[in-house]
Structure 1
Amino acid sequence: MNGAQALVHALEAEGCTHVFGYPGGAIMPVYDALRDSPIEHVLVRHEQAAALAADAWGRLRREPGVCLATSGPGATNLVTGIANAAMDSAPLVAITGQVPTQVLGTDAFQELDVFGVTMPIVKHSFLVRDPDQVASTLHEAFAIAREGRPGPVLVDLPKDVQMAPASVEGAARRPLAATEPVDPAGLVRALDLLDAAERPLVYAGGGVAMASAVEAFRAFIEASGIPCVTTLKGLGLLPREHDAFVGMLGMHGTTAANASVQACDLLVVVGARFDDRATMALGEFAPAARVIHLDVDPGEVGKLRAADVRLIGDLASALAALSGRRSIPAWRDRCRARKASARPRLDHPGPGVFAPRLLDRVSEAFGDELILACDVGQHQMWVAQHCRIPEPRVHLSSGGLGTMGYGLPAAIGAALAEPERHVLCVTGDGSIMMNIQELATVKRYGLPVKILLLDNACLGLVRQWQELFFEARYSEIDLSDNPDFVELAEALGIPAFRIERADQEAEAVERLLAAEGPTLCHCVIDPRENVWPLVPPGQSLNTQMLGPRGGPS
């Protein structure tokens, strides 16, 4: 066995079923070893897509997704995807080829210090110099990517290490370290604050799902009756119609959620990190509230907002310990009334397609079996505001990094990770062009990905900000020379159709739902439509712009 075969052997021992990658000289021995493995290699058309597809695969499977690339440009093309996984805490193992050890540091062909380049955006990095350490290093990489707060790990393999004789003796999957229970004394203090609060509010984020604590969280909400707001990554923790769910908070959050945050006297923060897009002007965020902060990562507690009670450790057991009905009927009624008054308006008067209405329709039609792979832009916020999301795990969205081009590779990863579910990629004309070559990957593997492409012939979110905050001085947002997306999709072997009118929306949903294979719906929308509500940058959650119709879209 050589080093490359040892690596593949370790991947098999980890239960890896798919790897996403693109071959090249420095990683070629690993590709040779993969020929004799049951692991399915998915050949993408750009290494960035390999990392983003592996990111989505990992989020859905709760196991590290794996991407492969050669040295130099192959490795640098992975960097955006690695950073995306780091920002959203997705488990990922990135394996890169490297030039032989004897020429490291000599500026050899396609040499790159990927170890140094990625150091700020990984949980850990390995440069393997001993062939006998390849398998054990891979197992350690998987364990680090999984445990605690998940994230990306890099394994850099020089070509001579891949080709040298190697042993796998003693190398085995490492059991994960158990998450420590929270401090009992902290639980007592938290219960005292909960009992004293008149206007408690739960502020929940993506960390709840990462901690496999969704059911415990739902049980806590049912038992306590405390109203709840979530971040973008926390959507799906509660059904949108749930009595306690007030809405998403933040820049494009609901007026009900933001008003409730500003009025509360106690914030129970669960798996959230006081992100700037959620809090906006941090110094004016929930000004009267004391804070109970629950998280598995001690680095996030107290980083941006001091916590009156810090609960670090296992979220599920902590939530169970804090359960108990709170006598806050007046506060619950106020939050319900806010939510009722801020229900989204889908009665758009124009003859054209109205994206929020279409997204509401399509998510209802696909139901609980839908995985949403969303790109970045106005459509990302419309998905968050208007789509039915049954659980956080199936809402694939680039939250922290805001990576345009995420949607289509993520849909590929999702379709392979959960082939029994419907996968819908919601993208924009700007975003899809970032990784549109992956339509060829969809075709090659016959993946039944449905693509809803919302085309406003511009960079919509940039245009909206230039309109509102730069005196409508539009700069480099015009995409009116877009290709014919229907013809482009069909040229790549993907059936496609176009809609432009409101009376075509229902039929478009039916066609997407009925299609057995991949299908693209090119949906032309009004370039003047904006996302509402909006909290201007630098302002508090009290300052919301509601748009020309005086309410949310």
Structure 2
Amino acid sequence: MTTGRPAHPHRPGCWHTVARTLAHSGVRRVFGLPSDEPGLLDAASAVPGLDVTVIGDQRTAACAATGYALTAREPTVLALSSGPSFTNALAGLLEASSLSVPLVVITTAVPRENTGRGAFQYVDQLAMIDRLAGWTHRADHPDHVAWAVRQAVHRAVNGRPDVTVLEIADELTGSEPEEPPVPLPVRHLRTLPPPDDLDEAAEALRKAHRPLIVAGGGTRWPHDLQGVEELADLLEAPVFTTAAGRGAVDERHPRSFGLLGLYTTPPATDLLESADTILVLGSKLEETARMGWTSWRTAPVIQVDRSPVAFGEGCPVAHPLLGDVHLAVPELSTRLRSRPRTPHPEAEAWTGLQHRVAAAQRVHTEADFATSPVRATLRALSRILGPHTLLVQENGLHDIWTYHYPVLTVAHGARPVCPGEQTMMGFGAGASIGAALARPDEPVVLVTGDSALRLGVGALDALRHHALGVIVVVLDNQGFGWPRRLRAGADGPHIGTSWDPDAPADHLARAFGGHGTTVHDEESLDTALHQAGHRAREGRFSLIRVPVPDDDVPLGIEAAGY
């Protein structure tokens, strides 16, 4: 964008120091839109080990950086500048904060002499982002640049992963900071809960008659959590996940029952309500995770988390275990193996209930295209592309079906990329860019709605530009699904919720250089998916439009009374 000020000659000093420090700290990718004057993206492009991804819209870039961080499970950088560049990224940063993503935002500032005097493109960025970010700082001295960059990365990855924001004073951009010695990469600092606390928690699990495990988003940092299935077998406990925790357990395991709360597939609520002890791994139990069941209010909760502020935020906690879930889980398993649980008459009944629930859940996958085009589409995705497909999700009315196991089944480690509690429309389109860059050799599928796609449509251009073979599945109800459903039958006047565009989603795909098609039955769907998989391997994106009726509504939505 034009700043209205003459560009300075190229002065690589400060930005070179920023870029080198990022690379030395363990950052591998920087997202952003080039600023008028050479800045971080330019400097980063010349530093070995740093990849630069240019996105033509800061909102999309923020979502792409979030998708990359979630998929690569490493700190990622978003380069911004003061004014509209920064504010345009805020919706994506809101989602990144909700997801607890290690995203480092590095932005410029206007000259200090003009602050408060009608400065061009001035906003108080740090005040604006303060409530969303875990750490903010303004670097205004050359000797502090390298320290501040490294601190931003350290704060992003340690404790609970977080958004951090570093503002580089305009006066520094022409400076030549002294190059510090090459540091070691920023390490994930891992802690083990105290032995006494682990002993106490293990004893509570040993005495439980109907234990239950919940795995949250904290199980994905810094790598896949191992051992949840073993712990479940030791406890004879069902395992549920939050949306962000999906992939912590293989959903093909007999103790896995999918997601909890709003996304629970009936009749798994029977297990949630019957639990007498709940082990929560790396989750705050946000509102959507608590919906539709109540035992979290009354059953003793054992919670493992790296952040002290997580305890008690979502539910009462009887046994808080402050530490890394990747260390705590094997410790709990070791204690349970050394002193096995005493057989109890309820154990057989608890396992029997799990078998009955699993059988009843499988019935929900049995839907043909005419009955439920959404379920038929998701079943085809699993059948043709497999359970290791990297799924990118939205949170619209119809695509919430993607959260329902076993309508769609996820293998261990195949971590879906989903929005957090903010559920911004259009997040998925941008996030699919980052997911595809992080896993270039795996199929990436975005399931979105027609309205969400319109809000993130610019991402299609980025998919073409970067030769990313994402398969975009658009569930098209020709309008705004949630507002339409919540207005249905309501008394009084209300605005229309239909949106019938002259250019449907498949036409948009072709306009942006991809392949677009509309399917109306299982045969055309299978053909479209096979062809899309072939194009994906060649780095070409495809968009498959699936018209859906208003009543193809997910189970959790019906159960919640919406």
The TM-score, its normalising length taken from structure 2, stands at 0.89
Within the alignment, does 1:417 sit opposite 2:428 as a pair?
Answer: no
Within the alignment, does 1:6 sit opposite 2:17 as a pair?
Answer: yes
Structure 1 residues 21 and 472, CA gap change in structure 2 (3 angstroms): farther
Query: Which of 354, 357, 364 does residue 338 from structure 1 map onto?
Result: 357
1:488 corresponds to: 508
- What is the CA–CA distance in structure 2 between the aligned matches of 1:120 and 1:113, rounded to whole Å? 13
2:126 corresponds to: 115
1:390 corresponds to: 411
- What is the CA–CA distance in structure 2 between the aligned matches of 1:429 and 1:285, rounded to whole Å? 37
- What is the CA–CA distance in structure 1 between the aligned matches of 2:20 and 2:100, rounded to whole Å? 26
Give unmatched runs, 5+ long, in structure 1.
Answer: 537-542, 548-553
- Map Cα deviations across residues 24-46 of structure 1 (whole Å, 9 max, x no partner): 34x63334434533433222121
What is the deviation of 1:182?
0.7
- Map Cα deviations across residues 146-200 of structure 1 (whole Å, 9 max, x no partner): 1121011111112321111211224635643632211222222222222221111
1:499 corresponds to: 519
2:310 corresponds to: 300
Moved more, 355-364 or 424-433: 355-364
What is the deviation of 1:334?
0.8
- What is the CA–CA distance in structure 1 between the aligned matches of 2:493 and 2:552, rounded to whole Å? 16
Moved more, 427-436 or 477-486: 477-486
What is the deviation of 1:104?
2.6
1:429 corresponds to: 450
Within the alignment, does 1:529 sit opposite 2:540 as a pair?
Answer: no
Within the alignment, does 1:224 sit opposite 2:224 as a pair?
Answer: no
**Which residue identity is paired with 1:467?**
A
- What is the CA–CA distance in structure 2 between the aligned matches of 1:435 and 1:371, rounded to whole Å? 19
What is the deviation of 1:464?
2.5
Give unmatched runs, 5+ long, in structure 2.
Answer: 1-11
1:235 corresponds to: 246
- Map Cα deviations across residues 387-413 of structure 1 (whole Å, 9 max, x no partner): 222235630010221021111211111
- What is the CA–CA distance in structure 1 between the aligned matches of 2:420 and 2:367, rounded to whole Å? 28
Q: How does 1:54-453 map to 2 (within 5 A)?
A: 54-170=65-181, 172-173=183-184, 175-176=186-187, 178-210=189-221, 212=223, 214-280=225-291, 284-286=294-296, 288-323=298-333, 324=336, 326=341, 327=343, 328-348=347-367, 351=370, 354-385=373-404, 386-391=407-412, 394-453=415-474
Structure 1 residues 45 and 175, CA gap change in structure 2 (3 angstroms): closer
Report if the CA contact (8 A) 2:14-2:173 is conserved.
yes
- Map Cα deviations across residues 83-108 of structure 1 (whole Å, 9 max, x no partner): 21111111101111211233233331
- What is the CA–CA distance in structure 1 between the aligned matches of 2:440 and 2:225, rounded to whole Å? 23
Q: Give the total of aligned pairs.
A: 537
1:519 corresponds to: 541
Within the alignment, does 1:45 sit opposite 2:59 as a pair?
Answer: no
Structure 1 residues 175 and 34, CA gap change in structure 2 (3 angstroms): closer
Moved more, 407-416 or 251-260: 251-260
- Map Cα deviations across residues 486-536 of structure 1 (whole Å, 9 max, x no partner): 222212211222212343222222222222332323323233234232367
**Which residue identity is paired with 1:152?**
V
Q: Cα RMSD over matched residues?
A: 2.4
Structure 1 residues 434 and 113, CA gap change in structure 2 (3 angstroms): same
- What is the CA–CA distance in structure 1 between the aligned matches of 2:113 and 2:257, rounded to whole Å? 60
Report if the CA contact (8 A) 2:468-2:541 is conserved.
no
- What is the CA–CA distance in structure 2 between the aligned matches of 1:439 and 1:209, rounded to whole Å? 28
Query: Which of 30, 39, 42 does residue 40 from structure 2 map onto?
Result: 30
1:539 corresponds to: none
Report if the CA contact (8 A) 2:142-2:176 is conserved.
yes
2:7 corresponds to: none
Structure 1 residues 351 and 315, CA gap change in structure 2 (3 angstroms): closer
Q: How does 1:463-482 map to 2 (within 5 A)?
A: 463-467=484-488, 470=490, 475-481=495-501
**SS of the residue aligned with 2:233?**
helix
Moved more, 87-96 or 319-328: 319-328
- What is the CA–CA distance in structure 2 between the aligned matches of 1:140 and 1:104, rounded to whole Å? 26
Structure 1 residues 393 and 155, CA gap change in structure 2 (3 angstroms): farther
**Which residue identity is paired with 2:353?**
R
Moved more, 126-135 or 166-175: 166-175
1:540 corresponds to: none
